[in-house]
Amino acid sequence: MNFTEGEVLYFNKPLHWTSFDLVNKARTMIKHTLGIKKIKIGHAGTLDPLATGVLIVCTGKCTKRIEELQYHTKEYIATMRLGATTPSFDLETEIDATYPTDHITRELVENVLQQFLGEIKQIPPTFSAVKVNGKRAYEYARKGDEVEIKAKTLVIDEIELLEYDMPTIKVRVVCSKGTYIRALARDIGQALNSGAHLTALERTRIGDIKVEDCISIDDFRAKIDEMKAQMPIAE
């Protein structure tokens, strides 16, 4: 591997790590272990701290490919709890309201999911990195300030119900860049005349890269150590 010339790395991001945490850890390993003083490195598509799965990291000259890679279609497996909402639409914040679910059936869920196929408008979460008046939306949200976020157009290519175990459902989603699965959970809850929030999220694919093709940060550390061991000893 030549990290300065450029590499495209496929990581399985750990739970509770930010995307920047993983990039920073990879950068530190490359610089300190291999003695590289300066390295360009970045990721192609943010994953929330409470999400796991495919995160593409580019180094060196390959950082020029980040924008191209961000536009690849993404696949997610989302676990949602129906009948309850949180301000962040996931487990980052506490439940703020509960709703009836007695009327919800598997058939109803499957019918509602089909309403989200194709081109849709979606309002990103207030707890997100979307910029509003030069600041990140989450900066307003964490202070309790009201902020208006404009709806974005995106595409849902595929959506299917994988598991139905009320009040929990598991859904597979194939979608375009810019899709917030947390916001999709919110909208599915509303379409069911109830509420919903994410309890787990895994990005299983970006383009042709599947989560099975990805390495853990520990595997990457072992690879870097192996590279160092093979370096010639300076006399």
| Spatial CB neighbours of 124, under 8 Å, sequence gap ≥ 6 | 130, 137, 149, 152, 180, 183
* Angle, alpha carbons 160-166-170 (nearest 5°): 30
Give residue 132's identity as a one-letter amino acid code.
V
Candidates 21, 48, 187, 218; catalytic one: 48
Residues 35 and 135: their CA atoms lie apart, in Å, by 36
- Can you name the residues that pair with 151 across neighbouring β-strands? none
* 111 SS3 class: helix
Q: Is 48 a catalytic residue?
A: yes
- Active-site amino acid positions: 48
